[in-house]
């Protein structure tokens, strides 16, 4: 009798026999030409998966599903409490929508290898746009609608799109946010100008079109002919997705076609344990990696139904929205960021809403994007009564690196842990010198190369930055930027970033970029921006600012100006609300700002004062400033001790 293999056995095999392991997984997706090589190195010396293979991701996600019997199954369901709309698309309907939009893009000159920027809200047309690009072999780059025009301009200049796709507006709770003025502003700021913009007019807001450049989406699509899928190489890029790094310039994460399709299909089976025909509800914006992988590509590649929500977990109209969706669409797997559940818990601590709905179809709930605090995990567990699975991944990987692989062998859950490395990921904890650490020793979370399929092969047009950011610190390893440890049972605990990246309500942001902007204010001599703990958002940024000599301004005025500056330049999602005036920043004698200590003071953590600090007294002054301004755990602790 053949017993099913355990997680340990399969994981071990995936690392000792990567080519055999991934060749087997690759057989699960439809290729036009099977790969000639499973694992290889390209001319730049970078890892490539499935070279020589030919496929089309849109074909695998749509046409193939139609051809193999899913034509009438719902592929995408759009539930929009903010517009009181529900729209459902079967696989056949979705294929037809996408094929026609692809035809419209083709009339605007888009072809294989061209780049297309998509700046759109949570509407089905955004998914159509992504898939239409994939159909044509064009490379899409979705920009999250919450980013300000300057961020959009940076991405337009880096990707040099042939066209930009946008919509007349997005809707945040009850506020209609016109997108077209933001796009126009971005194009004013950008050096590169696209040939065309295609604008989807929503009934809530009409966008003015610039003659010659802008086109009405609905008009153009209604006149377009459907087009077929274009064959691409497995190693050709499918999309670019920008993510925050440590500087003002975001990193253009590249995703290839072949590795991506194989990895996502594998993850749908073995991590999320979803069968074709089952239903996945991923509550994430299309603008994030989670939205790309598990609202669009993953569920469709697996023949599942994907539910997309235009609205928030709360106040649209109430904290029962997620549970209503689970019942209505008989959702099997729900996936979101812990911050969504913290928001629900805040408004509905006794989970009254959940009791109004039938949640019995749920098999598991997955959370990622930030650490899931054990109280939230336990609260959720009580409600859903199925495994609540915290799992760890990054935009760079595009799919989970550490998880409880429910389709292989569900492992006991340890709150605080993202469970164990996913097959293909050789995770190791290294110290500052690159030495491997043992159980329970905290260090830098690294992945031994090669990374498995689906992970970034490089950064867009920037192999050097790719090497410098991820590969050069410890040769032979990918540096994740997270700190953590592995316990005696092999469970991985991710404890947070070791660099300037923070996570605010599941949105990845760079404090380095915020510092660059704050420093550009004429009154500011220098500053430090750190992410402090926030009960709802996980983290939020706080600025510590030193004024230039002789500048006459008060803290309130400067704070208002700096808050507006970050909001206008990065976006409201940065949630930058506080800029505190300090006499000096804590520094080492060599001039390095001690940002970690600033965060530890705000979070009320104990910290060691380094022997190299130039002025230890400033630490107490800063703590007092935080208390006076009622900010952070430092204030909470001081008020509790009173
Ligand atoms: N377009 C325009 N503005 C946006 C936006 C978008 N797509 N997304 C957020 N914003 C704005 C908000 O309107 C808000 O503006 P305001 O300061 O004028 O009120 C600001 O950015 C901050 O947004 P946020 O931090 O999201 O706060 P919120 O109160 O609107 O919502 C949560 C709080 C927790 C409900 C919400 O952040 C949430 O659902 N988070 C989950 C995120 C997620 O799923 N991430 C995916 C990773 S898995
Ligand atoms: P993003 O690229 O936006 O997906 O953000 C990736 C970062 O989010 C990681 O580097 C981590 O810092 C954090 N993150 C994602 N998932 C988890 C998790 N399950 N636990 C802790 N941190 C996480």
Domains and CATH numbers, the chain: 7-311+391-484 (3.40.50.12780), 505-629 (3.30.300.30)
For residue 451, the SS3 value is coil
Pocket of ligand 1 (CB under 6 A): 145-146, 170, 172, 177, 283-285, 288, 290, 312-314, 336-337, 339-340, 343, 368-369, 505-506, 537, 572-573, 575
For ligand 1, mutation pick of 82, 172, 368 (most atoms within 8 Å of CB): 172
Q: Are strands 139-142 and 115-119 parallel, antiparallel or unpaired?
A: parallel
Pocket of ligand 2 (CB under 6 A): 243, 289, 368-371, 390-395, 418, 481-482, 494, 497, 503, 508
Ligand 1 centroid, distance to 354 Cα (angstroms): 22
pLDDT < 70: residue spans in the chain: 1-4, 641-642
**Ligand 1 nearest atom to the CA of residue 571, by list position:** 21
The dihedral of CA 437, 440, 442, 445: what is its sign? positive
Cα angle: 305, vertex 309, 312; to 5 degrees: 150
For ligand 2, mutation pick of 415, 482, 485 (most atoms within 8 Å of CB): 482
Ligand 2 centroid, distance to 37 Cα (angstroms): 32
Look at residue 247 in the predicted model and tell me its pLDDT: 77
Ligand 1 centroid, distance to 235 Cα (angstroms): 34
Look at residue 3 in the predicted model and tell me its pLDDT: 63
Among all bound ligands, the one having the nearest atom to the CA of 145 is: 1
For 65-82, b/e burial (b = at least 16 CB within 10 A) is bbeeebeebbbbbbbbbb
Look at residue 423 in the predicted model and tell me its pLDDT: 98
Q: What does pTM read for this prediction?
A: 0.96
For residues 287 and 141, give the distance between their C-alpha atoms in angstroms, rounded to a whole number. Answer: 9
Ligand 2 centroid, distance to 485 Cα (angstroms): 15
Among all bound ligands, the one having the nearest atom to the CA of 241 is: 2
Look at residue 641 in the predicted model and tell me its pLDDT: 63
Ligand 2 centroid, distance to 508 Cα (angstroms): 8
CB 120 within 8 A of CB 166: yes
Look at residue 633 in the predicted model and tell me its pLDDT: 86
The gap from C-alpha 44 to its chain's centroid, in whole angstroms, comes to 27
Which residues on neighbouring strands pair with residue 389, listed in sequence order? 366
């Amino acid at each position: 009798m053949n017993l099913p293999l355990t997680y340990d056995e399969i994981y071990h095999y995936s690392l000792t026999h990567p080519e055999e392991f991934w060749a087997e997984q690759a057989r699960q997706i439809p290729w036009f030409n099977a790969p000639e090589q499973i694992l290889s190195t390209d001319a730049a010396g970078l890892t490539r998966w499935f070279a020589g293979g030919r496929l089309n991701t849109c074909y695998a996600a749509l046409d193939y599903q139609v051809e193999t019997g899913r034509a009438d199954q719902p592929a995408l369901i759009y539930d929009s409490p903010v517009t009181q709309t529900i729209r459902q698309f079967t696989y056949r309907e979705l294929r037809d929508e996408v094929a026609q939009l692809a035809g419209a893009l083709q009339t605007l000159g888009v072809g294989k290898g061209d780049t297309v920027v998509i700046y759109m809200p949570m509407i089905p047309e955004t998914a159509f746009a992504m898939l239409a690009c994939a159909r044509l072999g064009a490379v899409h780059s979705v920009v999250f609608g919450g980013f300000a025009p300057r961020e959009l301009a940076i991405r337009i200049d880096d990707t040099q799109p042939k066209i930009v796709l946008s919509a007349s507006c997005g809707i945040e709770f009850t506020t209609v946010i016109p997108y077209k003025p933001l796009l126009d502003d971005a194009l004013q700021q950008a050096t590169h100008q696209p040939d065309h913009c295609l604008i989807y007019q929503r009934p809530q807001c009409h966008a003015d079109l610039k003659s010659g450049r802008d086109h009405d989406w609905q008009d153009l699509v209604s006149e377009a002919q459907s087009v077929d899928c274009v064959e691409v190489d497995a190693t050709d890029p499918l999309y670019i997705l920008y993510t925050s790094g440590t500087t003002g310039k975001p990193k253009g994460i590249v995703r290839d076609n072949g590795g991506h399709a194989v990895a996502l299909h594998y993850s749908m089976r073995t991590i999320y344990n979803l069968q074709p025909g089952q239903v996945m509800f991923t509550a994430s914006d299309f603008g994030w990696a989670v939205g790309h992988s598990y609202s669009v590509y993953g569920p469709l590649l697996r023949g599942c139904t994907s539910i997309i929500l235009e609205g928030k977990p709360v106040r649209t109209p109430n904290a029962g929205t997620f549970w209503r969706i689970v019942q209505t669409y008989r959702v099997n797997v729900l996936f979101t960021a812990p911050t969504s559940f913290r928001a629900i818990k805040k408004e509905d601590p006794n989970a009254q809403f959940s009791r109004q709905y039938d949640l019995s179809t749920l098999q598991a709930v997955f959370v990622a994007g930030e650490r899931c605090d054990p109280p939230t995990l336990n609260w959720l567990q009580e409600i859903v009564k199925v495994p609540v699975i915290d799992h760890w991944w990054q935009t760079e990987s595009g799919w989970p690196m550490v998880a409880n692989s429910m389709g292989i062998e569900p492992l006991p859950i340890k709150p605080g842990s993202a469970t164990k490395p996913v097959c293909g990921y050789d995770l190791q904890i290294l110290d500052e010198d690159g030495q491997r650490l043992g159980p329970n020793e905290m260090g830098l979370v690294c992945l031994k190369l090669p990374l498995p399929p689906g992970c970034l092969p490089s950064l867009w047009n920037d192999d050097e930055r790719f090497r410098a950011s991820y590969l050069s610190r410890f040769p032979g390893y990918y540096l994740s930027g997270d700190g953590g440890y592995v316990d005696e049972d092999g469970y991985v605990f991710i404890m947070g970033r070791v660099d300037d990246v923070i996570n605010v309500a599941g949105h990845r942001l760079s404090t380095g970029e915020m510092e660059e902007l704050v420093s550009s204010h004429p009154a500011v001599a220098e500053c430090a921006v750190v992410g402090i703990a926030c009960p709802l958002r996980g983290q939020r940024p706080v600025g510590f600012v030193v004024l230039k000599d002789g500048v006459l301004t008060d803290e309130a005025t400067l704070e208002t100006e700096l808050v507006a500056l970050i909001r206008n330049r990065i976006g409201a999602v940065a949630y930058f609300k506080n800029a505190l005036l300090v006499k000096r920043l804590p520094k080492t004698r060599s001039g390095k700002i001690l940002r970690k200590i600033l965060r530890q003071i705000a979070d009320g953590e104990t910290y060691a004062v380094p022997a190299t600090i130039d002025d230890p007294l400033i630490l107490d002054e800063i703590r007092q400033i935080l208390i006076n301004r009622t900010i952070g755990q430092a204030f909470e602790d001081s008020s509790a001790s009173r």
